[in-house]
C-alpha cells in the first residue's frame, strides 16, 4: 500500500499543512471519510510543483464546509447544484470541497447528470487514470493512496489513458486536456486513447460543445507551460478547424515564440496575449468570427478590433512621447504587450515599453480651478488647454506645476 504522508509533510508549507490538519480533525469528529484528490495527488507522486487543495467527502460536503466556515470564520462560496463549496483561508488559500459523486451523460458532449456516489465511483468518473487517485485524510488511514484504475502505474510510465471507450463522447473537452497534460509532463497518450480522440473529432463532437467550454479549455492551454506545442497537436488532430476553418497555429508559431521570450507576458491575461498571435495575420472578419465562436466578452472583442486597427498604424507609428501616449492610452495592456513583443521596429518596442513603464503614469498638476484663476472662461477650451499641457509635459519634460502654468500662459498668450 502506497502512503503519501511523508511526501505531503515535505511538500506542504505550514499554512497548507494546518488547513489539512483542521479538515482532517473535523472529518474525524463528524465521522466522514475525507480524501485529497486532483492535481496535487498526481503531482506529489512525480515531484511536480502544485499546492491546489481539492478534497472530496463521502457525505454532505456543503454541511461539512459550513461547519468549517463557522469554526474558522471563513469566506465561503456555495454551489448547491453540484454539492460543492470553496473556502478561503488566511493568505487567500482556496480550498475546494465536493461530495463524492457519480455522473451519467444523457447526451453526447452535454453536461453530466450528477448524483451521490462512493469514492471509487467518484474517481472512475474522472478524465484520465493519472487524475483518478485519492489520498485518505482521516487520522486512522492518513496518507494511504486509493488507486482503483492503476493510475500510479500509468503515471510512472508517462501514459495518458481514459477509463472507457465513451470518454470523449461524454466529454470532448477531455481532448484538450489530454494534449495539455501530454505537453506539460512530456507524457504520451495511449494509442487506444488517441484513436478515441480522433473518432470523437471526426464525429463532430467538438462542435457540440458550448463556446464557453471550448474557450475555457483553450485558456488553460494558453496559460500552461507549452501552449504552442499543445495547440499544434490540436491542429494536427483537426480540432482547431472545428472551432473555425481559418484557425491555425502554424502561421503564428514565430509570433508565439517571440511572446514566450517577452518578460511582460505574465503581467496580463497571458491567454489573451497569445490568442492575439493566432488572430494577428487573419482578416478582421475571421478574427471576429473566432471571437464569437469562443464567447469572447465585449472587452475581449474590443481588444481584437483594436488589434487590427493598431496593426495598420505600425508603419507610421508616432515618435513623440505625446503621440505614443495618445495612441496607446485606453488600449488594453494585453494588446500593447503583444505589439511590443512582435513589432519589427526597435523604436516601436522601445516606445511601448516607455509607455507601460512611464508615460501612462504622467499626470498634470494643474486643473480646471487653475485655469479659472487665470481668467479663462469655462468651456471646451479647458479640455484643449489641458490636453496641450499634457503633451508638453510628456514631450518637454515639464517638471512642476509652475512649468505647466507657464506653458499654458504662453499657449494662450497670457502675459501675467
> Where would I find the H helices in 312-400?
321-328, 333-342, 346-357, 368-373, 380-396
pLDDT tens digits along 257-287: 889 888 777 777 899 999 999 999 999 999 9
Q: Which residues of the chain have pLDDT under 70?
A: 416
Which residues make Cβ contacts (< 8 Å) with residue 323, sequence separation at least 6?
none
Which residues make Cβ contacts (< 8 Å) with residue 232, sequence separation at least 6?
249, 250, 253
Q: What is the pTM of this model?
A: 0.91
The reported pLDDT for the residue numbered 312 is: 87
Residue ranges, CATH 3.30.460.10, the chain: 1-153
The reported pLDDT for the residue numbered 416 is: 61
Class of domain 158-243: mainly alpha
CA–CA separation, 413 and 416 (whole Å)? 9
The reported pLDDT for the residue numbered 344 is: 86
CATH fold for the domain made of 253-361 = Methane Monooxygenase Hydroxylase; Chain G, domain 1 (1.20.58)
The reported pLDDT for the residue numbered 140 is: 92
CA–CA separation, 241 and 235 (whole Å)? 7
> Options 3.40.50.620, 3.30.460.10, 2.60.120.590, 1.20.1090.10; which CATH number does 1-153 get?
3.30.460.10
65, 31 contact by CB (below 8 A): no
pLDDT tens digits along 126-162: 999 999 999 999 999 999 999 999 999 999 999 999 9
94, 72 contact by CB (below 8 A): no
The reported pLDDT for the residue numbered 4 is: 95
pLDDT tens digits along 365-415: 999 898 888 888 888 999 999 999 999 999 999 899 999 999 998 988 887
Nearest-10 crossing angle of helices 270-279, 333-342: 60
Residue ranges, CATH 1.20.58, the chain: 253-361
The reported pLDDT for the residue numbered 263 is: 79
Residue ranges of E strands in 100-217: 101-104, 113-116, 134-136, 145-146, 159-160, 188-189
Nearest C-alpha neighbor of 148 from the set 167, 117, 123: 123
Amino acid at each position: 500500500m502506497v502512503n503519501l504522508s511523508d511526501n505531503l509533510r515535505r511538500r506542504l508549507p505550514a499554512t497548507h499543512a494546518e488547513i489539512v490538519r483542521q479538515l482532517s480533525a473535523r472529518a474525524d469528529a463528524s465521522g466522514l471519510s475525507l480524501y485529497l484528490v486532483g492535481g496535487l495527488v498526481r503531482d506529489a507522486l512525480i515531484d511536480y510543483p502544485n499546492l491546489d487543495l481539492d478534497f472530496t467527502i463521502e457525505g454532505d460536503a456543503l454541511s461539512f464546509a459550513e461547519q468549517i466556515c463557522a469554526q474558522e470564520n471563513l469566506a465561503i462560496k456555495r454551489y448547491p447544484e453540484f454539492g460543492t463549496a470553496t473556502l478561503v483561508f488566511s493568505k487567500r488559500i482556496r480550498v475546494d470541497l465536493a461530495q463524492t459523486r457519480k455522473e451519467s451523460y444523457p447526451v453526447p458532449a452535454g453536461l453530466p447528470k450528477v448524483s451521490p456516489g462512493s469514492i471509487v465511483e467518484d474517481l472512475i468518473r474522472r478524465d484520465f487514470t493519472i487524475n483518478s487517485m485519492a489520498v485518505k485524510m482521516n487520522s486512522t488511514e492518513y496518507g494511504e493512496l486509493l488507486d482503483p484504475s492503476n493510475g500510479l502505474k500509468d503515471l510512472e510510465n508517462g501514459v495518458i489513458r481514459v477509463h472507457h471507450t465513451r470518454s470523449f463522447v461524454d466529454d470532448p473537452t477531455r481532448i484538450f486536456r489530454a494534449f495539455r497534460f501530454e505537453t506539460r509532463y512530456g507524457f504520451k497518450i495511449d494509442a487506444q486513447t488517441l484513436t478515441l480522440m480522433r473518432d470523437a473529432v471526426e464525429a463532430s463532437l467538438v462542435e457540440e460543445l458550448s463556446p464557453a467550454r471550448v474557450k475555457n479549455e483553450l485558456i488553460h492551454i494558453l496559460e500552461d507551460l507549452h501552449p504552442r506545442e499543445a495547440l499544434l497537436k490540436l491542429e494536427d488532430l483537426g480540432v482547431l478547424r472545428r472551432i473555425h476553418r481559418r484557425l491555425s497555429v502554424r502561421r503564428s508559431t514565430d509570433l508565439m515564440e517571440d511572446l514566450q521570450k517577452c518578460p511582460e507576458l505574465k503581467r496580463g491575461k497571458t491567454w489573451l496575449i497569445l490568442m492575439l498571435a493566432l488572430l494577428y495575420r487573419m482578416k478582421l472578419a475571421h478574427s471576429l468570427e473566432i471571437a464569437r465562436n469562443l464567447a469572447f466578452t465585449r472587452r475581449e472583442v474590443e481588444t481584437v478590433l483594436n488589434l487590427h486597427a493598431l496593426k495598420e498604424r505600425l508603419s507610421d507609428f508616432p515618435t513623440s512621447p505625446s503621440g505614443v501616449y495618445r495612441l496607446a492610452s485606453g488600449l488594453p495592456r494585453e494588446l500593447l504587450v503583444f505589439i511590443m513583443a512582435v513589432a519589427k521596429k526597435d523604436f516601436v518596442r522601445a516606445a511601448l515599453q516607455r509607455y507601460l513603464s512611464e508615460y501612462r503614469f504622467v499626470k498634470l498638476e494643474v486643473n480646471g480651478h487653475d485655469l479659472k484663476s487665470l481668467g479663462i472662461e469655462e468651456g471646451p477650451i479647458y479640455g484643449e488647454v489641458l490636453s496641450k499641457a499634457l503633451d508638453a509635459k510628456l514631450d518637454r519634460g515639464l517638471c512642476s506645476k509652475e512649468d505647466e502654468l507657464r506653458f499654458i500662459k504662453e499657449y494662450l498668450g497670457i502675459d501675467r
